[in-house]
């Protein structure tokens, strides 16, 4: 599968972040990326959930952009989102927002590509893959693989 990938290589919180998380993004040379030329870092507002077990942050996906609240899971390589195609209840989505690839001019479905992830608590998600533009803080990545949850 040809695609784009943003890798979060550093993730920090602390007294100097004041309700934000500091993210270092490693971008392969294949990406068309706009980011802070100084240090490759960006500050993103975050919501601390359950005493540092999760940091919920705004991520914009698509053109025009839809802003969703996502958990930066540093233990996983997956960027997956709830979608308008999901066959789950709104309660299961935990107020994270819904991505509708049909509303984005830049979304492209990768036909034949599916994904599934299972977590240690027994939960799981699965669906199809699109490519789209994402914005995290002041970092923009075009043609990022976005895993769109259907269940």
What does the pLDDT read at residue 99?
A: 92
Whole-model pTM: value is 0.72
CA proximity to 108, closest of 69, 144, 141, 135 = 144
- Give domain status of residue 1, yes or no: no
- Give domain status of residue 63, yes or no: yes
With a cut of 70, which residues of the chain have pLDDT below it? Answer: 1-41, 52, 74, 88-96
CA proximity to 82, closest of 134, 132, 127, 144 = 127
- Give domain status of residue 49, yes or no: yes
Q: In CATH, what number is assigned to the domain containing residue 62?
A: 2.40.70.10
**Domain housing 65:** 6-149
- Give domain status of residue 126, yes or no: yes
Q: How many domains does one find in the chain?
A: 1
What does the pLDDT read at residue 3?
A: 39
What does the pLDDT read at residue 95?
A: 61
What does the pLDDT read at residue 85?
A: 75
């Amino acid at each position: 599968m040809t695609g784009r990938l943003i890798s979060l290589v550093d993730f920090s919180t602390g007294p100097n972040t004041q309700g934000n998380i500091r993210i270092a993004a490693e971008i392969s040379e294949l990406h068309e990326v706009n980011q802070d030329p100084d240090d490759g870092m960006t500050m993103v507002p975050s919501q601390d959930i359950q005493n540092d077990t999760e940091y919920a942050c705004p991520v914009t996906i698509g053109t025009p952009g839809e802003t969703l609240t996502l958990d930066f899971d540093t233990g996983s390589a997956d960027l997956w989102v709830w979608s308008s195609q999901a066959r789950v209840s709104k309660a299961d989505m935990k107020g994270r927002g819904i991505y509708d690839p049909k509303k984005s001019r830049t979304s492209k479905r990768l036909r034949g590509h599916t994904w599934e992830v299972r977590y240690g608590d027994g939960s799981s998600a699965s669906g199809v893959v699109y490519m789209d533009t994402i914005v995290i803080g002041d970092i923009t990545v075009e043609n990022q693989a976005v895993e769109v949850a259907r269940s």
